[in-house]
Copies of this chain bind each other. A is one copy, B any other.
Amino acid sequence: MADHASFDSPDDRIHAWYWLETGDDPQRAAEVIAGEQSSGTFTAVPGETPALKERSGARVEGLEILGVADQPSLPGGMAGARYKHCRLHLSWPLANLGPSLPNLMATVAGNLFELRQVSGLRLLELRLPPAFAEHCPGPAFGIEGTRRLSGVHGRPLIGTIIKPSVGLSPQETAATVRLLVDGGIDFIKDDELQADGPHCPFDERARAVMAVVHDAAQRTGRQAMVAFNITGDLDEMRRRHDLVQALGGTCVMVTLNAIGLAGLLALRKHAQLPIHAHRAGWGYLSRSPALGWDYAPWHLFWRLAGADHLHVNGLANKFSESDASVAEAARAVLRPVFAAQPMAAMPVFSSGQTGLQAAPTYAAVGSTDLIHAAGGGILGHPGGIPAGVAAMRQAWDAAIAGIPIGQHAQAHPELRAALGVW
């Protein structure tokens, strides 16, 4: 199911795969889920004729029993002697809802999680008919636009996050940015907690930071991309976007779960800059293996809605996510949405990253079309930020060339020094 080359539907229907746990008969549970999410309800209703059901009902396309457990994963479900673990494949006629992302979300991730037939349910994968390619904007910049605006080609963008997350004044923020751009960084982002508070008003911060960025660009000939966090209500986001654009900035950032699909779609309609998409809150959607969302179907909504960069955590990260999960998420971001319309976006790796993750990241995703954000991995370099940035690049040079990092370090003093602290 996950070995397809894109998220294209095999026909003109919407397809979704779930991990399902049920104390009920699995086939009956599958039919209840299909009914609840389409023409049916708990009990037969007068108007649900066989013709209507044939036309509008969700279809159980497949149901594979994977195993059983003695205890339910989640409370509140129907009691059973055993709890069957299944892979459930459902499909819907596109005509039920049309190619609308918000209504798609209500359909494939709506009431079904609350059903008593369910003691575990997780959305694993989505495949969509081509009408979504025609009706959804997708990223306006994606990989190519990001490379063009940042001037970085043939290797990942080396990035970092402004820290402390909150509490710096606009001038203090700009001073931090000065150190980073003087050090040759490609990409800088606000922390997702940095908003528009009275101690660090957005406009003042943007002006101070962009002055520093332009100053460095004049000296170096290349402008670092700064993702300003414009998360807010739609008017605020549009106004802040316009200010960043007027100041010559090249990226804006939003927290997806905080603004929602209608928010991103409206911003995408307005935006003239790449949209850097933060996934804060992803943990409550995914941390229980028996509930919620896998990253592949979740990210697909936001990519179709216009996210250019999507956070995927990082290998050997400081959070709770496994490397396998991170790698799978990044590969999902790099997979074409549709073969005929790839809607390419860039995965963003962060959290406890250093050059040591360059080779395994490259091996896991097979691409350099990514942003690799490191904090201590750059700032902690004994030679300072310029040496830290150089060491990250050298680590990627080695990874791309297939040279062991220790061997590459012999001829590259910044990398050699970095290996002592990474």
With both beta carbons as reference points, the residue of chain B lying nearest to A162 in the complex is identified as B47
> Given the complex, which residues of B lie within 8 Å of A167, measured CB to CB?
38-39, 47-48, 52-53, 55-57, 96
Stretch among A110-118, A147-155, A355-363, A409-417 lining the B interface: A110-118
> Given the complex, which residues of B lie within 8 Å of A321, measured CB to CB?
76, 114
Among B100, B114, B283, B352, the residue within 8 A (CB) of A283 is B114
- How many angstroms from the CA of A352 to the CA of B221 in the assembled complex? 67
Stretch among A207-215, A287-295, A394-402 lining the B interface: A287-295
The 5 closest A-B pairs by CB, nearest first: A260-B260, A113-B283, A262-B263, A76-B320, A56-B167
Q: Kindly state whether residue A366 has any CB partner on chain B within 8 Å.
A: no
> In residues 54-95 of chain A, which contact B (Cβ within 8 Å)?
55-57, 74-77, 94-95
> Given the complex, which residues of B lie within 8 Å of A192, measured CB to CB?
106, 110-111
Among B52, B97, B164, the residue within 8 A (CB) of A197 is B97
Stoichiometry, copies per complex: 2
- Residue from the set A172, A199, A283 with the largest chain B CB neighbour count within 10 Å: A283
B320 adjacent to A118 (CB under 8 Å): yes
Q: Kindly state whether residue A133 has any CB partner on chain B within 8 Å.
A: no
| A229 CB to nearest chain B CB (Å) | 9
Q: Kindly state whether residue A107 has any CB partner on chain B within 8 Å.
A: yes
> Given the complex, which residues of B lie within 8 Å of A107, measured CB to CB?
193
Number of interface residues of A (CB under 8 A): 101
**A-B CB contact pairs (8 Å), 28 listed:** A39-B167, A43-B376, A45-B163, A47-B163, A47-B168, A47-B176, A48-B163, A52-B164, A55-B199, A76-B322, A97-B197, A98-B196, A101-B233, A102-B259, A103-B231, A103-B232, A106-B281, A110-B255, A112-B283, A114-B319, A116-B319, A233-B265, A258-B260, A259-B262, A262-B266, A262-B267, A283-B291, A284-B292
Interface residues of A, Cβ cutoff 8 Å to B: 37-43, 45-48, 52-53, 55-57, 74-77, 94-98, 100-103, 105-107, 109-116, 118, 121, 163-168, 172, 176, 192-193, 195-199, 231-237, 255, 257-267, 269, 278, 280-285, 287-293, 313, 318-322, 352, 375-376, 379
- How many angstroms from the CA of A265 to the CA of B38 in the assembled complex? 28
| A291 CB to nearest chain B CB (Å) | 5
- How many angstroms from the CA of A355 to the CA of B111 in the assembled complex? 23
| A111 CB to nearest chain B CB (Å) | 5
Among B100, B116, B193, B266, the residue within 8 A (CB) of A110 is B193
B75 adjacent to A289 (CB under 8 Å): yes
A41 adjacent to B105 (CB under 8 Å): no
Among B114, B260, B352, the residue within 8 A (CB) of A261 is B260
With both beta carbons as reference points, the residue of chain B lying nearest to A165 in the complex is identified as B39
| A253 CB to nearest chain B CB (Å) | 11
B193 adjacent to A48 (CB under 8 Å): no
A42 adjacent to B284 (CB under 8 Å): no
Given A234-B265, A262-B233: A288 and B290 interface contact (C-beta under 8 Å): yes
| A63 CB to nearest chain B CB (Å) | 20
Among B45, B102, B278, the residue within 8 A (CB) of A258 is B102
A45 adjacent to B266 (CB under 8 Å): no
